[in-house]
Structure 1
């Protein structure tokens, strides 16, 4: 796979890169990132041919949106595809380092809001923070405990903005499959962003969600391909789903690493490319906090993985 490759997102007409850049780390996820480091990471992504960038107000309480917008101000906007999210409004408040896993964030607090007014306020604020004139894709973010307001208010609000031409595509982004499946079945979204549930370690989305998306022509973006880091480097202390990995998860990740090593393939390369083998998957979104990480991800995306390894990994999943 080459980074510049693109594919249409569902039936939206919007084409996104098969490899997208996730800006969560640029908001200080797990540890703080300074402005220069963030700019270098974004520049490395651009140089690698990556043109799809995913952000959200949640990422560093707006810091990721600000940094992405500052970077894109010096690049041809028409060449980039940018997604952001709604569901959390930002209000002035005390900066508590480490809130929701983010460090070095501005003095803002997050307020859940999936109302139509909240959606429009969120997008207006995101445009102001980023300095962009529009977003290409907007996702309802983490509505786990807010199904009714998300489906009755946030979704219709985004659908109207899409009909008006203010947004090119809409969807939902979550770390679970069940509610994403309900959105696919009950609404006219263009895509889902499923994080952490379609990886070498966790293939839940492949059982029902991805087939349902394929049946209805809904695009699929996959985040969390490294499950917070353990599939990039399964060392002691590695994270899994935003928390320290358990001994059992570490054991399974190391077993995967050994299978890959026997074929001369780094675990990270197999983990990054694995979701793209599914015909329902449009692209993967991979976060990075430095130019070196971006370059490593781009190399992993383009490394040739032998079919014999994929066959072993498929068998491993069936018996794991």
Structure 2
């Protein structure tokens, strides 16, 4: 039997997660088509490499990611892995289909209806359970509630707290690329964990520190995602066509990424290797979840994770 990777405890919960997680957005045909065989092979390889945290969302391919992930994980005992998905995105019939979804290569017979009310959360969770083919989800995040007003995260957290207290879910959280509300949510014990995208990375070491400090102070946890900053840190040297926050890279950030790469290389460390390892140096961070489309991508990410980074590197990259 494959041994899981090292685990960390999700503070204040009975859940432990492997330090490396599988992000399943690409299983929903993000930007380009992924075959059923490729999707299944990616999940199977992740299992073989010891990954036991798998994350998805209804948004990813209008439910395709959840269905594919659920089918692949059905081969394994339910207690042997941690499953997370997101709520707030209902999938409803699309009255005006165009033939293809905007971001995912899937038919748009369904459309997203964003709803962070109690009824919306409950319906969203029921839909996800059906697509995943499971009777429980370990971690449930409100999906980008900050994009729908200041109250959306709080309204969702209230319902998720109710579900956690009833034992329906294991932990409640918020998935976001905006850290501004997290310190307050942690302090109020509104959530157990935040999935933070692109804001605590080797390139952005300061922007989320208030949220991370609040997590430690209030015994909460953070899952770091988008640690490559949309691809800028994904290669040994920033690629000419690299993106940052899904758009063009500002010149000053490209220069900083190159400087980071040079500092890392002085220690025999690559830029993506350091990008994966950096968030895990903070005591609030329990996991880095990476998007993985194919078995080859799983192997590359797992290999990078397993190459330990000398502690001296962090002192060398903090003054850039």
Tell me which protein shows more helix as a share of its residues: 1
1:146 aligned to 149, 153, 169, which one? 149
Asked if 2 retains the 8 angstrom alpha-carbon contact of 1:33 and 1:104, the reply is no
Contact 1:136 1:167 in 2 (8 A): yes
Q: Which of residues 221, 224, 238 in structure 1 aligns to 2:223?
A: 221
Q: Which runs of 5+ in 1 are unaligned?
A: none
The match for 1:109 is 111
Shift of 1:184: 1.5
Match of 2:83 in 1: 82
Measured at CA, do residues 66 and 213 of structure 1 come closer, stay the same or move farther in structure 2, by a change above 3 Å? same
Which structure 2 residues correspond to residues 91-130 of structure 1 after superposition, within 5 A? 91-93=92-94, 94=97, 97=100, 99=102, 101-104=103-106, 107-130=109-132
After TM superposition, the structure 1 = structure 2 runs for residues 229-268 of structure 1, keeping only pairs within 5 Å, are 229-233=231-235, 234-268=238-272
Moved more, 143-152 or 205-214: 143-152
> Post-superposition, which runs of at least 4 consecutive aligned residues in structure 1 deviate over 3 A?
95-98
The CA deviation string for residues 191-242 of structure 1, in whole angstroms up to 9 with x for no partner, is: 1111100001112444211001100001111111111111112201112112
Which SS does the other structure have where 1:228 is aligned?
coil
Query: Could you tell me which residue of structure 1 aligns to residue 283 of structure 2?
Result: 279
Find 2:308's aligned residue among 277, 297, 304.
304
> Structure 1-normalised TM-score?
0.93
Look up the match of 2:193: 191
* 3-state SS of 1:132 partner: coil
Give the whole-Å Cα distance in 1 for the aligned partners of 2:251 and 2:138: 41
> How many angstroms does 1:3 deviate by?
6.4
Contact 1:86 1:141 in 2 (8 A): yes
Decide whether the 8 Å contact of 2:8 with 2:287 is kept in 1. yes
Q: Which blocks of at least 5 consecutive residues in structure 2 are unaligned? A: none
Alignment pair present for 1:314 and 2:315: no
Shift of 1:247: 3.3
Q: TM-score, normalised by structure 2?
A: 0.93
Separation (CA, whole Å) in 1 of partners of 2:257 and 2:34 = 27
Asked whether the 8 Å contact 2:186–2:214 carries over to 1, the reply is yes
The residue number in structure 1 matching 2:24 is 23
Deviation at 1:261, TM superposition (A): 1.8
Asked whether the 8 Å contact 1:235–1:250 carries over to 2, the reply is: no
